[in-house]
Amino acid sequence: MNAFSSYHPEVLMLYFVTVVTLSMLSMNPIFLAIALFGAMCYFASLEGIKKFLTSICFYFPMFILIAVTNPLFSHNGETILFFLNDNPVTFEAIIYGMAIALLIIAVMYWFKCYNNVMTTDKFVYLFGRVIPKLSLILSMALRFTPLFKEQIKKISKAQKTMGLYSSKSISDKVMGGMRVFSALLTWSLENAIDTADSMRARGYGLPGRTSFSLFTFAKRDFIMLSGIIITLIAVLIDIPKGFSYYPVISAIDMRFSYFALAVLMFIPFLTEVKENLKWKYLISKI
Amino acid sequence: MKKDLLVISFIILFVVVTFRGTKIQSVDEYYLTHIDDIMPNSKTVTLSIVCDTILDNYDRLDPQLKSDKYVPSDGIILPPTKYVLREQDTVYNILDRAVRHNKIQMEHQAPHLNSYGSVYIQGINYLYEFSCGPLSGWMYRVNGIFPNYGCSKYELKDGDVIEWLYTCDLGRDVDCQWLGIRESTSICLGGDFN
């Protein structure tokens, strides 16, 4: 499942920058829904349905939490549902909260895909020459969350093998989690020093060193790049402006840019699907 | 399992305390306010809410507010109306009672949420601070004078005339008199603008 990620890093970088910026550009609900849906489909095709469903278990409560929190602080809006401590809770504020939640979750899903696709070597290949130090820091920082996740699994497995916190009680599990977290914290500090030492030992940053990478800009990369740019321009010339939620939610109008955006957001998913079908077809011929 | 039960009972206790502390009212309940009848011997004050400065700056108004519903064509949201003054009533009490009685939308910031220790009126009739340019917001004056402090600190007396005015220019367009003398705009709105 890496049809899209096999494209040239420049194409991929441009794509992710475009997609994340577009997701944050407009508060139009259709815009946000398309962005989120595209990200979810791509994430599911990258990591598999099972991982996707577990991620939903985390993001759905977060969606609800943001949607419920906004009306507690924002009381603008014409459709009053009820009054909470003399402050109106309005329909518009809830919808606005949902829109913010959509935006945040869409961007988070795109970054999850980014983390999967743009590996460190691709990032350093792109920016290693231009901004060597910053690119190193960025690639290390972006690697942190997945790295910590892996390490948490390892630590908790080790704890369980030692027979600690294997009871079914929830509060015991929470305490065990705290213990794992403190172990992780110590490990991360040690790991940072280790990494630095190891890099120095291998002569990172010394003059005259080159790095090898096998990325060639092929014809299909050019086609993909021009496809991205054309759809991006199509979205930008007709971008919906001035969608407001207060005091009444403005009407949703049909626009050409929705289709262009849908094409742009679903490029990676469709590439995966196309490659998958091709594979199935070729296998069936054997 | 004993620990689990303890934790769960603590969570339940927390939820109950939170819910006991919140007051949930339906829309009709909220607007059902008791307005005292005006007797010959009762103390009264006059209240009006005017936003006619927006009419001069209509192009700066947020596009979604450009409607007769939010900015009446004469700029008068509430014409001068007499309200009975209760003991220790402040400008805020009268405004709150009046907007509830007339079902006008109003949002305020509670006194403990700002550093002035007084209620701050963020918006009336969906017209909020900054809705009509960066220098816009609600101000009040009593008997033609703009007080230098928040509306829940001004205690009223019999016969006072309260005007709530929407300014689009930090009070200069509604004749905030002492503005020129003090040469400081920040005191006029009670906000930190310089």
Q: What is the pLDDT of residues A99-135, one digit of tens each?
A: 999 999 999 999 999 989 998 889 888 887 788 788 8
Mean pLDDT value across residues B95-115: 90
Say if A49 falls within a structural domain: yes
Please list every residue in chain B whose beta carbon sits closer than 8 Å to the beta carbon of residue A85. Answer: 22-23
Give the one of B6, B7, B30 whose C-beta lies nearest to A83's C-beta.
Answer: B30
Asked whether the predicted pLDDT for residue B33 surpasses 80, the reply is no
Is B25 in contact with A171 (Cβ distance < 8 A)? no
Say if B41 falls within a structural domain: yes
Q: Which of B23, B98, B69 is nearest to A82 (CA)?
A: B23
Say if A242 falls within a structural domain: yes
Say if B105 falls within a structural domain: yes
Q: What is the pLDDT of residues A30-47, one digit of tens each?
A: 999 999 999 999 999 999
User: Which range of residues forms the domain containing residue A255?
Assistant: 4-143+215-285
Number of structural domains in chain A: 1
Asked whether the predicted pLDDT for residue B187 surpasses 80, the reply is no
Say if A281 falls within a structural domain: yes
Give pLDDT, residue B192: 41
Say if A12 falls within a structural domain: yes
Number of structural domains in chain B: 1
The single residue listed with the structure tokens 């490029």 is A267
Say if A162 falls within a structural domain: no
Say if B1 falls within a structural domain: no
User: Which range of residues forms the domain containing residue B63?
Assistant: 25-189
Say if A191 falls within a structural domain: no
Say if B8 falls within a structural domain: no
Give pLDDT, residue B179: 54
For chain B, list residues whose CB is within 8 angstroms of any CB belonging to chain A: 1, 3-4, 6-7, 22-27, 29-30, 62-65, 70, 105, 107, 123, 126, 128
The residue that leads in pLDDT, A30 or B37, is A30
Spatial distance between the Cα atoms of A184 and A148, rounded to a whole number of angstroms: 7
Residues 6+ apart with CB under 8 A from B98: B47, B49, B78, B81, B83, B104
Say if A188 falls within a structural domain: no
Helices (H), chain B: 2-21, 27-31, 53-56, 91-102, 178-182, 186-189
CA distance B40 to chain A (A): 32
Return the CATH number at B90. 2.170.130.30
Is A247 in contact with B126 (Cβ distance < 8 A)? yes
Residues 6+ apart with CB under 8 A from B128: A76, B107, B122
CA distance A167 to chain B (A): 9
Say if A22 falls within a structural domain: yes
